[in-house]
Structure formats: structure tokens, C-alpha cells
Structure 1
Amino acid sequence: ILAREGTGARLEAMNFDVVELADIERPPSGLVRLTAGADRRVAHKALTATARATHSCGLIWIDSIAALMPEDEDGIDLPEGSVLARTLGLDHKAGALQPQLSPENVVIVGLRHADPAEARVLKDSRVSAFTMTDIDAMGMRDLMHEAIRIATSGTQGFHVSYSPTVTEFAGWAAGSGGLTVRETHQAMEAIALSGGLLSMDVSGLTADLEPRIGTDAVNFVMSAFGKRIL
């Protein structure tokens, strides 16, 4: 748990505390919460906590996939590829975070893969999605300006969900064709400057992840929380 003094300030000037909570889903107010996990299901837990602490929030989903895959009707467990569908109530199962999180305030950045069934769900969902083609055309600066506008329209702020698979790292197949490291930092820097960050999660942090990628992920988080060169 990272205590908030105001994102966008120099990282070195901010006060950070690690706080142990008896109930992670009922956090005290005034904190920017950072959650890390092995897969995208950590995003649902993190967003649940944020939704309970706000009356309205947006979501910037920085990932190579939309996680909107339709679920099996009889399925109980939450598949990783259906996390956002469950969060938005698109699967009509328990776990939706409405009315706090509306599809109109959700934006996907860096989308590279979508199953045909998932693409249909996305088209009908009112969720905004920016693919790598959009990023190439708009540039990361203008695209993030629009993403933040969408996520903050009528909300108290936004949650950021980041998966390393959205970023291209040399020699790592999972990120092939994705954002450059610099583009990822640009996205995080825009988030910090907006002052709207309520909470953040990072998925894909497993024991098998190459240390250099984990290090870059930490640096991306630091950029989101306000680290600057000068």
C-alpha cells in the first residue's frame, strides 16, 4: 500500500508507507494502492477494493489482450481471459463492479490480440480500445490524453492495470509487436501527471519471469507514481 501525498510530485518527495490490512477489499481512504500478482485475476481483486472505496472510477487497461472472452455458462472459477468481462458484468455472474465502474469509463491501451468472439463482445460493450495500429497513428502522448479523458469523465479517478505482455522486450516472445519500453514509460508518465491515479495492479509477475523484465516493470510503476529525471 503506497500512502498518497499526490502523484505527479517528484517520487523522492512523496511519503510511502507499507500498510498491513486485515481486509484488502476494504482499504482506508486516501491511499494509492499497488497490487501485484501472477496473472490478470489480480486485477479483479484490486478493482474490487477500489470500487468499494469510491462511488465511481475509471479503468485504463494497458494490456495486449482485452480479457473479455465469453465464459462457459457452467463455469465457476474466473478464467484469466475473462477478467474484464466479469468485472463489467458482461458474463452476468457475481463479481461485477457496477455502478462504480461503467464500460464508458474503461479504455484498453495496446491491444494486439482478440479472439473473434471476444471482438464481438468488445464491440457491443461500450469499452474504448486502442490497438497498436491506433498508437502508431496517434502517438502515445495524444492517445494517453484521450484515454485519461475517457477514464476520468464523471469519475473520482481511475485504476490502472498493467501486464508486461503489452511491452516488447528484446528476446521475449510474449511481448513481440507491443509497445516499446519508452512508449510504456510515456503512458505511465501521463498517468502520473494527470493526478487521477487511484490504484494500480501489475500482473504476470511470476518466478519464471526474466529478472530484467521484472526490473523494467518496477520502473514503469515508479513512472506512474511520479518518478522523473529532473
Structure 2
Amino acid sequence: MTAQTKQPISIVGVPMDLGAGRRGVDMGPSAIRYASVKEKLTGLGYQVEDRGNLHVPTPESHEEGDQQLKYLREITTVSEQLAQEVSTIKDNGRFPLVLGGDHSIAIGSIAGLAKHHRQMGVIWFDAHGDLNTAETSPSGNIHGMSLAASLGFGHPDLVQCAGYAPKIKPENVVIIGARELDPGEKELIRKQGIRVFTMHDVDRMGMGAVMEETLNIVTNGTDGVHLSLDLDGLDPNDCPGVGTPVAGGLTYRESHLAMEMLAEANVLTSAEFVEVNPILDSSNRTAKVAVALIGSVFGEKVL
């Protein structure tokens, strides 16, 4: 593939930490840029523009509000802006690559993308389900509600981002790497029939088989595929710089294999990489892993 035939990429940073319980993830976009994400992609033959960061208010300057929906108003505002930004990138015929920030940014990303892909498949790499609502959330942190909101469950301000709902259908969603699910999330998964590959499944089947089945699901009757990758999906030994680490996660190589198989399938129409927290990291290791995975998903090979 020549550089001319590769779809140009637009990077947008969302320095959001209003949806998380620990500070620092707002520096994620800077950390990923510092780890040379643009240089990585340019080296692979892509034409890349960096659209900079959206403006996100700092928690210190605003009230948390409802303890079951912390910073709802501010997150809603940023989500609307991100939806517009992502939609504009798609209008320009470019591939949106969103850098977080906490996982609440997926509400805005998916809202903007679903305008262009009415039957969008979603691959959700995460230790968590992010399928809580205000009623089921143990923390009130909105980064644990983003997939639920995109599916049409939760507070109207989140669900109706960009003016319509739902954005995606449960049968088009696959969660990979789950190992910490709340009771309300388990119930929603069962009721909606969402395909979840827990770490038990990854251990038992192997990542190759998991990805083959995932690709079958997210491409069945869909018109685009979005990758939403939370770095806490990986094991904390490989990615220490995340706000909600859970032991026993995906290995570095398992994650690369997943990205390499995604690249081979050539089905991705957008991606976001979230929850890099440099404050909790050592020597920017987690952002470097993010950039390495971005390289693999855009076609970088060992040989």
C-alpha cells in the first residue's frame, strides 16, 4: 500500500479526568504525544494532522454535583464538542484517532462516529465493562458509564449526546479483557446479550481465537468498526500508569496480536486510546505501550 492510498489520520486529544476517580489522566494525550505517536504513524507512511486538544475544565474549578453522576454537566459539554470534532474529521474523509483522557470520552467519540456509521461495530478493550448507570455505579464516576450510555442506558444528558440514541446495538459490541465487573453490569450484559471475552476466555481460547470471533461479530452487518482501548485492559506489569489497575490482565504480546489481527482484517474506521495516567507511571512506559499498539493497529509488523 502506498502512502497515497492510506487513509489520512487526524489526532485529537481530550485531556479529560472529570470522569475518573484519580487525577492525572488529563495528561494522557501529552504523554502519548511525547512517546512519538505522530512520528510512529508518519514512519508507517500515513499523512497525519494533529488537531490539538479540546478544552476540558479542571475539576478544581467546578462542583462535582450529583455524587452518582460526578461532573455530569461538564462531561456532557465536552462530549458534545468531541462528537462534533470527530464528525468533522469523518466529513473530511480522515481516520479519527482520539487520545484520552478517561474513558468517559467514548460517549462523545461514539456519538460523533455513529452519525456516519449507523450500524457500527465496537471493540471495547478494557478490564471493566463501563456498563454502569447512576443507579448501579459504586463510585458515581462517569468513565464507568460510557458504554452503557452509548447503548442507550443511563442519564438522558449522556444517552442523548449529539441529539439521538442509541448510538450502537448490543449485538455489535464485543468487550475483551474484562476481569472486574459490577453486579449491575453483569445483569445488563446478560439482559442485552453482549459478547464479553473475560480473561478466563482469553486464557482458555487464546487471543487468536478471541479475535477471530470478535471480528466475525463486529463485522456482521455493520458499516464500520470502532476500537476503544483502555490501557488498563493490559496487565499492570506492562501498563502501570492507569487509574484503575486490575491484576491479571492482557499481556503485551496478546495485545499486539489483537492489534495486528485488526490491521490484517482492515476493518477499523476509528480508534481511541484512553486512561494513560503519567502521574502513576514510570518513565512514560504506559504511553509508550499505547504508541506501540497504535503502530500495530496501523500495520506495523515484526517482519
- Length-normalised TM-score, structure 2: 0.67
Q: 1:100 to 1:152 in 2, by over 3 A?
A: farther
Match in the other structure for 1:193: 264
Q: Secondary structure at the match of 1:170?
A: coil
Change in CA separation of 1:138 and 1:192 when aligned onto 2, cut-off 3 Å: same
Taking a change above 3 Å as real, the CA distance of residues 167 and 20 of structure 1, as seen in their structure-2 partners, is closer
> How many Å separate the matches in 2 of 1:18 and 1:50?
18
Q: Which is higher, the Rg of structure 1 or of structure 2?
A: 2
**Contact 2:152-2:166 at 8 Å conserved across structures:** no
- Shift of the 192–217 alpha-carbon distance from structure 1 to 2, 3 Å rule, reads same
Alignment partner of 1:212 is 2:275: no
Which of 132, 145, 148 is the equivalent residue of 2:199? Answer: 132
Amino acid at match of 1:225: F
Structure 2 partner of 1:5: 6
Could you say what secondary structure the match of 1:104 adopts? helix
TM-score by length of 1: 0.86
Q: Residues 183 and 16 from structure 1, CA distance in 2 versus in 1: closer, same or farther, beyond 3 angstroms?
A: same
2:229 aligns with 162
Cα distance in 2 for residues equivalent to 1:6 and 1:136: 35
Match for residue 24 of structure 1 among 68, 79, 85: 85
Unpaired stretches in structure 2, ≥5 consecutive residues = 9-40, 53-80
Query: Whose RCO is larger (CA < 8 A, sep 6+)?
Result: 1
The more displaced of 54-63 and 173-182 is 173-182
The count of aligned residue pairs is 222
Q: 1:16 to 1:82 in 2, by over 3 A?
A: same
AA paired with 1:18?
A: E
Q: Partner letter of residue 85 of structure 2?
A: I
| Structure 1 gaps, min length 5 | none
> For 1:91-128, what per-residue CA distance to the aligned partner results, in whole angstroms no more than 9, with x for missing partners?
26243564652110000000000111221111112211
Output the CA distance in 1 between the equivalents of 2:213 and 2:270: 19
Identity score, percent: 31
Residue-by-residue CA offset, 1:132-170 (whole Å, 9 max, x unaligned): 000111110111011111111111121001111111142
Secondary structure of residue in 2 paired with 1:53: coil
Helix, strand or coil for the counterpart of 2:48? coil
Instruction: Describe the shift of the 1:109–1:152 C-alpha distance in structure 2 as closer, same or farther (beyond 3 A).
Output: same
